[in-house]
């Protein structure tokens, strides 16, 4: 697999049946696996021990191209809870292959953001934003890596209850509002970044940050980075 040497453990998967409730067309007919999640990876025992000692996890997600009755294939979507200090846990992604559309939304639904990323881009999901990832390609697999704190469990219930994210991205390129949500602002488009200038949090490649406690401390101590998070989603 691109971005990984050697064998991988069996992946967790999301099947068509798992994803049907969050599709734009819940009557869409289909079957099989839509995407694969390889969790808790490391290229050496030393890297794995370092990650676990710092309450972090490195994952790979593989999303083959697929048209779901006029909607691009996507992940299910989830929110992160707050830390004990009241700031939401962030997450960081790197696109390894293909293209990704990260669709973010606040719990209050007062901000909906799309970040279009390509291979080599790093994307930080700031505190307070739920998110899905979309593969907007008709013929290219999306492979992405992420590092996230292991101090919490992702919260899927709100996405399940409301039948997906606030908007659906159709294969036509149109974003259609999910009718299960109230009236919301339109989708804002933001370029991928992990900070700028002296407010940059990290530089990639993502795996190279393993062992660098300072670079990844924002994942478990987000309250110390509030000023930097504010610049990530500026137009």
User: Considering only 17-21, 222-226, 228-232, which range has the smallest mean pLDDT?
Assistant: 228-232
Asked, for residue 61, whether it belongs to a domain, the answer is yes
Averaged pLDDT of the chain: 95
Query: Is residue 62 one of the residues assigned to a domain?
Result: yes
Residues spanned by the domain of 160:
12-232
In a domain, 52, yes or no: yes
- Residue 4, in any domain of the structure: no
Q: How confident is the model at residue 234 (pLDDT cuts 50, 70, 90)?
A: confident
In a domain, 42, yes or no: yes
pLDDT at 200: 81
pLDDT for 124-151, tens place per residue?
A: 999 999 999 999 999 999 999 999 999 9
Residue 201's pLDDT is 85
Residue 161 has pLDDT above 70, yes or no: yes
Question: Among residues 76, 228, 94, which one has the least CA distance to residue 148?
Answer: 94
Query: How would you list the strands of the sheet with 12-15, edge to edge?
Result: 12-15, 33-38, 56-63, 142-149, 91-97, 122-125
**CATH number, domain containing residue 226:** 2.60.120.10
Q: What is the pLDDT of residue 195?
A: 65
The pTM assigned to this predicted structure is: 0.96
Does residue 151 belong to any structural domain of this protein?
Answer: yes
Q: How many CB atoms lie within 10 A of CB 160?
A: 14
Does residue 5 belong to any structural domain of this protein? no
pLDDT in tens, 185-218: 999 999 998 766 666 888 889 999 999 999 999 9
49 — pLDDT class (breaks 50, 70, 90): very high
Q: Is residue 58 part of a domain?
A: yes
Task: Give the pLDDT mean for 41-67.
Answer: 98
Instruction: Report the domain count for the chain.
Output: 1
Tokens of 217: 């401390």
* 7-15 long-range Cβ contacts below 8 angstroms, 24+ apart: 8/38, 8/41, 8/60, 9/38, 9/41, 11/36, 11/37, 11/38, 11/62, 12/36, 12/37, 12/39, 13/37, 14/75, 14/76
């Amino acid at each position: 697999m691109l971005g990984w040497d050697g064998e991988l453990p069996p992946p967790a998967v999301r099947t068509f049946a798992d994803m049907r409730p969050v599709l734009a067309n819940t009557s869409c007919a289909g079957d099989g696996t839509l995407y694969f999640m390889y969790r808790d990876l490391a290229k050496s025992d030393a890297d794995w021990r370092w990650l676990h000692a710092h309450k972090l996890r490195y994952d790979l997600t593989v999303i083959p191209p697929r048209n779901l009755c006029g909607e691009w294939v996507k992940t299910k979507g989830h929110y992160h809870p707050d830390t004990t200090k009241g700031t939401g846990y962030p997450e960081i992604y790197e696109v390894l292959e293909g293209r990704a559309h990260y669709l973010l939304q606040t719990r209050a639904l007062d901000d909906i953001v799309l970040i279009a990323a390509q291979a080599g881009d790093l994307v930080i999901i700031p505190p307070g934003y739920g998110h899905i990832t979309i593969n907007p390609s008709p013929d290219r697999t999306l492979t992405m890596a992420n590092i996230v704190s292991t101090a919490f469990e992702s919260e899927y219930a709100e996405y399940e209850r409301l039948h997906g994210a606030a908007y659906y991205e159709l294969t036509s390129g149109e974003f259609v509002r999910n009718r299960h949500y109230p009236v919301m602002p339109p989708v804002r488009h933001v370029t991928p970044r992990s900070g700028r200038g002296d407010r940059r949090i990290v530089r990639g490649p993502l795996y190279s940050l393993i062992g660098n406690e300072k670079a990844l401390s924002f994942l478990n101590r987000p309250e110390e980075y509030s000023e930097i998070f504010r610049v990530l989603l500026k137009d």
